[in-house]
């Protein structure tokens, strides 16, 4: 499935080759050869074995287009990342100082968890109003400010997510869901969560790339040699909006069934049919517009992620205190 509209992501599900001929980049497999609109691509997602020839790679990097790679199960494995073109040493230094200073790091980390809790509660309240028997009291009673360090804060965040996932059986009309399982996901809903989380993580990475922030310096999660931990921080805030709501819409509107999944050894994963359906729904959500209360104009849901990065930059520079994204609709 290839998306070719203005500044949109491109999703590649079938094994093929990306190559350059003249000033045009093409994707080709055994069934199709298609020109890719280089000026209209935000990033490329490869969900199958994809060969990128050197000429095409050079051209994509010239146009600052990241390419994200996933294995056949939908797990993120890495990115072909252009050289940083937005570089500001002052911001990187201040970002590192905020990580190294305990109080400054805790302030940002707590605000991230507050955003997660708010967005989860907003989602659950939506279904409460529609007659679902969901209790939010335990989530509301979690005192984020009581956390004395990052491990305690991460523990509270984990409790919030567990309580959120415990409500899934009440919200969903199809498929059983006992608990969150990873590596591998044990059922269809876990397969959807894992697939959606990996996709959102890579989108957040692209948005960070388009700012002056360094994606490896985080605040809630510990920086790691094998991941861009700031993308984890930011993606957590947006999971209820992008991943949760996508899953609820797909299942409750009966857009997916058992034929969208396959069992591999001890795990359950999306097959190509399921991936196409999920990516289409997710992409439509990225393009959805909402009037922003402070900007006084419409922005896409995806733009909200970039705005979150800008808010972090303003906080780091001391211009404006960081307040995490919180659903208002």
Instruction: Indicate the range of 20-24, 176-180, 235-239 predicted with least confidence.
Output: 176-180
Mean pLDDT score, 210-228: 88
180 and 299 together in one domain: yes
Mean pLDDT score, 177-204: 94
Task: Please report, for residues 2, 34, 65, 166, 189, the alpha-carbon distance to residue 59 in angstroms, rounded to integers and kept in the order given.
Answer: 19, 16, 9, 46, 38
Query: Residue 35: inside a domain, yes or no?
Result: yes
Closest CA to 78 of 201, 181, 194, 236: 201
Q: What is the pLDDT of residue 176?
A: 81
Query: Residue 124: inside a domain, yes or no?
Result: yes
Q: How confident is the model over 77-99, as pLDDT tens digits?
A: 999 887 666 667 899 999 999 99
215 and 292 together in one domain: yes
190 and 308 together in one domain: yes
Query: Residue 95: inside a domain, yes or no?
Result: yes
Mean pLDDT score, 191-197: 97
Q: How many domains does the chain have?
A: 2
CATH code of the domain covering residue 32: 3.100.10.20
Query: Residue 251: inside a domain, yes or no?
Result: yes
231 and 134 together in one domain: yes
Q: What is the pLDDT of residue 2?
A: 43
Q: What is the pLDDT of residue 85?
A: 60
Beta-strand ranges (E) seen in 54-107 are 67-70, 76-80
How far is the C-alpha of 324 from the C-alpha of 204, rounded, in Å? 15
CATH code of the domain covering residue 310: 1.20.120.920
The pLDDT-based confidence of 26 (bands split at 50, 70, 90) is: very high
Query: Residue 2: inside a domain, yes or no?
Result: no
How far is the C-alpha of 40 from the C-alpha of 299, rounded, in Å? 18
Mean pLDDT score, 229-251: 97
Closest CA to 7 of 81, 61, 63, 53: 63
Tokens for 224? 């790691």
Query: How many other CB atoms sit within 10 Å of the CB of residue 31?
Result: 7
301 and 171 together in one domain: yes
Q: How confident is the model over 37-67, as pLDDT tens digits?
A: 998 999 999 999 999 999 999 999 999 999 9
235 and 304 together in one domain: yes
Whether 202 shows a pLDDT value over 60: the answer reads yes
Tokens for 182? 């990873």
49 and 137 together in one domain: no
Mean pLDDT score, 119-126: 97
Domain extent at residue 202: 89-316
pTM for this predicted structure: 0.93
């Amino acid at each position: 499935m290839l998306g070719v509209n203005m500044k949109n992501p491109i999703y590649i599900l079938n094994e093929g080759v990306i190559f350059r001929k003249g000033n045009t980049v093409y994707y080709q497999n055994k069934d199709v050869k298609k020109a890719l609109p280089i000026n209209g691509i935000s990033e490329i997602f490869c969900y199958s074995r994809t060969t990128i020839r050197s000429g095409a790679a050079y051209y994509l990097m010239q146009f600052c287009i990241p390419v994200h790679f996933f294995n056949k199960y939908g797990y993120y494995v890495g990115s072909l990342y252009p050289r940083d073109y937005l570089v500001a040493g002052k911001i990187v230094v201040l970002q590192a100082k905020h990580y190294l200073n305990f109080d400054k790091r805790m302030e940002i980390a707590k605000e991230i968890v507050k955003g997660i809790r708010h967005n989860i509660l907003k989602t659950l309240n939506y279904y409460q109003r529609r007659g679902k028997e969901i209790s939010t009291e335990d989530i509301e009673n979690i005192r984020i400010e009581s956390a004395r360090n990052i491990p305690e804060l991460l523990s509270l965040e984990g409790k919030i997510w567990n309580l959120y996932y415990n409500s899934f059986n009440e919200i969903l009309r199809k498929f059983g869901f006992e608990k969150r399982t990873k590596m591998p996901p044990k059922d269809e809903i876990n397969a959807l969560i894992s697939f959606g989380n990996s996709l959102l993580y890579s989108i957040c990475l692209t948005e960070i790339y388009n700012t002056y922030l360094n994606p490896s310096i985080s605040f809630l999660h510990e920086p790691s040699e094998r991941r861009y931990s700031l993308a984890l921080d930011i993606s957590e805030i947006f999971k209820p909006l992008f991943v949760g709501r996508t899953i609820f819409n797909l299942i409750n509107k009966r857009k997916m069934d058992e034929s969208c999944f396959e069992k591999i050894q001890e795990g359950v994963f999306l097959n190509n049919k399921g991936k196409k359906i999920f990516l289409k729904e997710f992409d439509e959500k990225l393009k959805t517009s909402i009037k922003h209360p402070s900007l006084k104009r419409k922005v896409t849901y995806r733009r909200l992620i970039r705005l979150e990065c800008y808010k972090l930059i303003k906080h780091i520079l001391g211009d404006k205190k960081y307040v995490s994204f919180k659903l208002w609709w």
